[in-house]
Every structure is written in structure tokens, then in C-alpha cells.
Amino acid sequence: MAIPDKAPSLSWAEASQPMQAWWQQYCLVSMMPLVRLQVTWLENITQAIQMETQLFQAIAKSGEKLTLCLTDNAYSCNAAKLTEHYQEMVKTLTDANIERLAKVSQLSHEFRRCLWEEI
């Protein structure tokens, strides 16, 4: 009596290929909007951080000028020059803050638009 040939057995990896293909397709379809949303959120956060950095640079530059006026004898700072430097510092900081607020208000609209596009 002859032993019947068995059908070739599939390895685990070969048998699970249809399931893996389905899982990859499911993940790509269902997770991509969330990934795009997170990328949009990170881009907007990066823009906000850049705006804050620009404001801090303006603060540092203005403070440096005023400090040099007060401490460096080469400037020979008198009351009139000190007042002029102070007013220049206030104007620089005011302009930087107004520009920052304008960009921040624009950022929130832009961020909301990007959110709705992704949803």
C-alpha cells in the first residue's frame, strides 16, 4: 500500500501574506488622515516657534544696545542719548510684537483651514 502524497504545507509567513496585505492597506487608508493632521499641526507649531524666536531676537538686540549705552564709555552716553536709545528700543519691540501678533492671528486661521482640509 502506497502512502498518499500530502499537499505541500505552507509556512507561516506564506500563509499570513493575505492578512499582512489587508492590514497594510487598512493602516494606510485609515491612518493617513491622522498622519497628515499631525504633520500640519507640527508645521504650524514650528511657525509659531519661529515667530517667538524672532521676537526674542528683537528683545536681545534692543537690550544689547541699551546695555552698551549704559556700560560702555566709548558711547559716552548722556541723558539725551539714553532717552533716544530707550525710545528706539521701545519702538523696535512694539513693531516686533505687532508683527508677531499679526502672524499669530494669521496662523490660527491657516491652522483651522488646514485642519478642515484634513478632516
- If you ran DSSP here, which 8-state letter would residue 64 be given? H
Per-residue confidence (pLDDT) for residue 37, from 0 to 100 = 78
Contact at 8 Å (CB) between 65 and 89?
Answer: yes
Whole-prediction pTM: 0.56
Mean pLDDT on 17-31: 70
φ, ψ of residue 112 in degrees (nearest 5):
-65, -40
77 pLDDT above the threshold of 80: no
Q: Match 487598512 to its residue by C-alpha cell.
A: 26
- The pLDDT value given to residue 55: 86
- pLDDT for residue 21: 76
